[in-house]
Amino acid sequence: MLKISPDETRLITRYIHEISGIFLDESKKYLLETRLNAIAEAEGCRSYQDFYTKAKADASRTIERKIIDAISTNETLFFRDTNPFQLLQHKILPELIDARTPKVPSMKTPLKVWSAASSTGQELYSVAIVLKELLGDLSRYNVKLLGTDISDTAIAQASSGKYNKFEIERGLARDKLQKYFSLTGQSWKINDQIRSMVNFRKLNLMLPFTGLGKFDIVLCRNVAIYFSQEDRKKLFNKIADILEPDGYLLIGSTESLTGICPRFIPKRHLRSIFYQLK
Amino acid sequence: MKTMRILVTDDDPIIRKLFAKRLRQEGYQVTLAPDGSEAARLLDAMPFDILITDLVMPGGIDGIALLKRAKEISLDIEVIVITAHSSIDTAVDAMKKGAVDYLEKPIHFDELFLRLDKIREIKSLQKSADDLREAIQVTENSAAQTIQELEMINSNLLIKIDEMEEILTDFSQNAEARIERALKILEPR
Ligand SMILES: C[S@@+](CC[C@H](N)C(=O)[O-])C[C@H]1O[C@@H](n2cnc3c(N)ncnc32)[C@H](O)[C@@H]1O
DSSP strand pairing (A181-184 vs A187-190): antiparallel
**What local confidence, expressed as pLDDT, does residue B2 receive?**
59
* Contact between A266 and B151 using a beta-carbon 8 Å cutoff: yes
Q: Exposed, middle or buried, A13 (CB in 10 Å: 0-12/13-18/19+)?
A: buried
Do A161 and A270 lie in one domain? The reply is: yes
The whole domain housing A114 covers 83-277
pLDDT in tens, B41-52: 999 999 999 999
Region for A270 from its dihedrals, namely left if φ exceeds 0, alpha if ψ lies in -120 to 50, beta otherwise:
left
Domain's final residue, options A71, A94, A110: A71
Contacts across the A-B interface (CB distance below 8 Å): 49
* Residue B40, domain member (yes or no): yes
At A188-198, the pLDDT tens digits run: 999 999 999 99
CB A185 within 8 A of CB A92: no
* Residue A27 belongs to domain with CATH number: 1.10.155
In-domain check, residue A191? yes
Q: Is A98 exposed, middle or buried (0-12, 13-18, 19+ CB in 10 A)?
A: exposed
Question: A137 near A116, Cβ under 8 Å?
Answer: no
Residues A38 and A129 in one domain: no
Q: What is the 3-state secondary structure (H, E, C) of B145-165?
A: HHHHHHHHHHHHHHHHHHHHH
Residue A137's pLDDT band (cuts 50, 70, 90) = very high
DSSP letter at A226 equals: G
Question: Domains in chain B: how many in total?
Answer: 2
In a domain, B126, yes or no: no
Which amino acid is it at A107?
M
Whether residue A107 is contained in a domain is answered as: yes
Instruction: Return the CATH number at B23.
Output: 3.40.50.2300
Using CA atoms, how far residue A1 sits from A9, A10, A61, A196, B188, in Å, is 15, 19, 24, 45, 61
The pLDDT value given to residue A183 = 86
Shared domain for A147 and A227, answered yes or no, is yes
Domain ranges, residue B150 = 136-186
Alpha-carbon gap, residue A71 to A38, rounded angstroms? 12
- The answer on A119 and A156 residing in a single domain is yes
* Residue B144 sits in the same domain as residue B181: yes
Residue A1 covered by a domain: no
Mean per-residue pLDDT, A31-55: 94
The answer to whether position B175 is within a domain reads yes
Average pLDDT, chain A: 95
For residues A185 and A106, membership in a common domain is answered with: yes
Number of structural domains in chain A: 2
C-alpha B165: how far from chain center = 54
User: Region A235-258: what's the mean pLDDT?
Assistant: 97
A254–B147: do the CB atoms touch at under 8 Å? yes
Whether residue B132 lies within 8 A of chain A, CB to CB, comes out as no
CA gap A190, A145 in Å, rounded: 15
pLDDT tens digits for A255-273? 999 999 999 999 999 889 9
Please indicate, yes or no, if residue A108 is contained in any of the structural domains: yes
Burial A183-207 (b: 16+ CB within 10 A, else e): beeebbbbeeebbebbebeebebbe
pLDDT at position A185 over 80:
no
- Is residue B91 domain-shared with residue B41, that is, in the same domain? yes
Q: Chain A: residue nearest B140 by CA?
A: A254
pLDDT of B154 reads 92
Closest CA to A109 of A92, A90, A96: A96
pLDDT the model gives residue B189: 63
C-beta of A73 in contact with ligand 1 (< 6 A): yes
Q: Is the CB of residue B140 less than 8 Å away from at least one CB of chain A?
A: yes
**Counting Cβ atoms within 10 Å, is residue A59 exposed (0-12), middle (13-18) or buried (19+)?**
exposed
Which string of DSSP letters, residue by residue, matches A86-106? HHIIIIIHHHHHHHH--SSTT
Residue A10: Cβ within 10 Å count:
11
Range A127-150 average pLDDT: 96
pLDDT at res. B109: 95
pLDDT value of residue A74: 94
**Residue in A24, A150, A152, A202 to alter for ligand 1 test, most ligand atoms within 8 A of Cβ:** A150
Q: Are A44 and A108 within one domain?
A: no
Measure in Å the smallest separation between the Cα of B21 and chain A Cα atoms. Answer: 31
Residues in chain B with pLDDT values less than 70: 1-2, 189
Residues A89 and A42 in one domain: no
Tell me the average pLDDT across A118-124: 98
Mention every residue, 6+ apart, whose C-beta is less than 8 A from residue A124: A113, A115, A118, A145, A146, A147, A158, A198, A200, A219
Q: Residue B144: which of A178, A253, A258 has the nearest Cβ?
A: A253
Q: Is the CB of A151 under 6 A from ligand 1?
A: yes
Look up residue A227 and give its amino acid: F
A265 to chain B: closest CA residue: B155
CB A102 within 8 A of CB A90: no
- Would you call A273 and B151 a contact, using CB atoms and an 8 Å cutoff? yes
Atom 26, ligand 1: which residue's CA is nearest? A74
Report the sign of the C-alpha dihedral through residues B23, B29, B39, B123, in that order. negative
CA-nearest of B147, B100, B122, B130 to A77 is B130
Residue A215 and residue A125 share a domain: yes
Task: Output the CA B12–ligand 1 centroid distance in Å.
Answer: 54
Q: Is A257 on the interface with B (CB under 8 A)?
A: yes
A258 part of contact set with chain B, CB < 8 Å: yes
Task: Mark yes or no for CB contact B151/A254 under 8 Å.
Answer: no
Residue predicted with more confidence, A127 or B140: A127
Interchain proximity B97–A266, CB inside 8 Å: no
B106: cis peptide before it, omega within 30°?
yes
| Residue A67 near residue A39 (C-beta atoms within 8 A) | yes
Residue of chain B nearest A264, judged by CA positions:
B155
Buried b (16+ CB within 10 A) or exposed e, B63-76: bbbbbbbbbeeebe
* Closest-lying ligand 1 atom to the alpha carbon of residue A206: 19
Clarify whether residues A48 and A107 are in a common domain.
Answer: no
| The last residue of a domain, from among A71, A91, A124 | A71
ipTM of the complex: 0.77
Give yes or no for residue A253 CB within 6 A of ligand 1. no
Per-residue pLDDT, averaged over A230-250, amounts to 98
Q: What is the CATH number of the domain that holds A108?
A: 3.40.50.150
Going from the Cα of A189 to the center of ligand 1, the distance in angstroms, rounded, reads: 22
Helix (H, G, I), strand (E, B), or coil: what is residue A76?
Answer: coil
pLDDT, average across residues A64-84: 95
Residue at B34 is within a domain: yes
Q: Are residues B72 and B151 in the same domain?
A: no
Q: For residue B127, tell me if it sits in a domain.
A: no
Question: pLDDT category, A17, cuts 50, 70, 90?
Answer: very high
Contacts of residue B73, defined as CB under 8 A and 6 or more positions apart, other chains included, come to: B43, B44
Question: B144 and A185: CB-CB below 8 Å?
Answer: no
